[in-house]
Amino acid sequence: MNVVLGVTGGIAAYKAVEITSRLKKAGFAVRVIMTRAAQEFVTPRPFAELSGERVVTSMWDDCTERHVEHIALADWADLLLVAPATANFIAKAAVGMADDMLTTVLLATKAPVMIAPAMNTDMLNNVATQKNIALLKERGVMIIEPAAGVLACGAVGAGRLPEPPTIVGEVKSFFDRRDNGVRSELINDCNGKLAGKKIIVTAGGTIAPIDPVRFIANRSGGKMGVATARAAAGAGANVVLVTGNITVALPTEPNIRLVSALTTDDMLKAVLAEFANADAVIMTAAVADYRVKDYSPQKIKKKANSFTLELVKNPDILRELGQQKQPGQILVGFAAETENLAEYAKRKLDEKNLDFIVANDVSRKDAGFDTDTNAAVIFYADGRAPEDFPLDSKDKLAGRIIRRLAEFF
């Protein structure tokens, strides 16, 4: 889950450092935007260290990783949290101004917005601020009520930024509420058909070790697989998530059991061990088709200018499952293609004896590997017309795949 944290210029800006740290520890990906005034109170460095990301401090930073940064950040966010939010920021938000990066992202994002006002009591109670807060509430902005106590200016009253654990608690309960909503929607849409079903999902890339320090890896961060596992769990299934080499945080749902399998051979064994009583398998993993013929148990020393690795074919896990599949078991594959998407995907559907295949064009920048979004075409073995799923978040695509899977039961 992605949180954009906006930090505005109040004395409580220092608490936003702890908020960043707690959000990261809770498993959120965090990008921080600081206003110019916020940088008068605290520097970007601790935010960068704790979030592991470059801190956005201006509209005019030289940005190499994102093309139009305010739109990229607005799209990336699952939640925009502004803590602390000054009276000035709240006023600008209320009238829809966009005169710096934070207000511009606020205007551009479709993500829910949560604001934690923090200021002097009189400024907070001023009719202008109260009207602005009321207007933001009317527009659906979530307001974390300020705490009361001794303020930095010496006054006693409301206006303190609540402590970081409270703010992070609000963020977590927002996502819990949202996930429960998604879950009950999924269970409804699936007519409860997946409740209690055993579904194996694979995620990430498998690796081919060369020696104790080197390996060849298939590209895949595991986002699509983890999203699929979470959607299946959300629909009430008991999920076995078999992970290869992944970079995404592992899910914590109680009905997802995690199994680690780094090489193709390990993944084959792990999947086969679970397959006999499984109702469905969804293979999103990018499985390495080849492994190194002669693994070196010692680190290979750097000598010659070039050296050749001989590769041998790995087993095809899905093909193996396709051969073993019993009536009632449903097999779903993914096809990662860079050309002839329909032709190659249909061939895999047929050759691996699948029920349907989710084909994605991995040459696109906004889809496939390591992106938050994906676009796909589903091809069915029962002769149904292919279905197009235009670009959307991987979570949404996963939900659609799980709804289609439920139709088989």
By CB under 6 A, name the binding residues for ligand PMT. Answer: 220-225, 264, 283-287, 289, 314, 316-318, 333-336, 348, 360, 362, 368-370
Q: Alpha-carbon distance 44 to 57, whole Å?
A: 8
DSSP of 189-217: HTTTTTTT-EEEEEESB-EEEEETTEEEE
Tokens coding 271: 């999947």
Cα–Cα distances (Å) from 114 to 18, 145, 165, 173, 217, in that order, read 17, 11, 15, 12, 39
Q: Alpha-carbon distance 344 to 339, whole Å?
A: 8
* Dihedral angle sign, alpha carbons of residues 357, 359, 362, 365: negative
Nearest CB to ligand PMT, comparing residues 211 and 372: 372
Q: State yes or no: is 153 an active-site residue.
A: yes
Nearest CB to ligand PMT, comparing residues 69 and 395: 395
Nearest CB to ligand PMT, comparing residues 160 and 348: 348
Q: Of these residues, 153, 156, 213, 312, which one is catalytic?
A: 153
Cα–Cα distances (Å) from 160 to 53, 156, 157, in that order, read 28, 10, 8
What letter represents residue 120's amino acid? Answer: N
Closest separation in Å from C-beta 378 to ligand PMT: 12
Nearest CB to ligand PMT, comparing residues 89 and 215: 215
Nearest CB to ligand PMT, comparing residues 85 and 331: 331
Tokens coding 343: 């032709």
Closest separation in Å from C-beta 351 to ligand PMT: 10
Q: Alpha-carbon distance 276 to 408, whole Å?
A: 18
Cis peptide before 209 (omega within 30 of 0): no
Nearest CB to ligand PMT, comparing residues 138 and 310: 310
DSSP of 393-405: EHHHHHHHHHHHH
Closest separation in Å from C-beta 93 to ligand PMT: 33
The closest alpha carbon to 348, from 363, 338, 359, belongs to 359
Nearest CB to ligand PMT, comparing residues 119 and 405: 405
Q: Alpha-carbon distance 393 to 84, whole Å?
A: 29
Closest separation in Å from C-beta 162 to ligand PMT: 35
Closest separation in Å from C-beta 98 to ligand PMT: 32
Q: Alpha-carbon distance 375 to 363, whole Å?
A: 11
Beta bridge partners of 117: 85
Closest separation in Å from C-beta 317 to ligand PMT: 3
Tokens coding 121: 């009591």
Closest separation in Å from C-beta 374 to ligand PMT: 6
What value does the CA radius of gyration of the chain take, rounded to a whole number of Å? Answer: 25
Q: Alpha-carbon distance 139 to 144, whole Å?
A: 15
- Which residues are identified as catalytic? 153
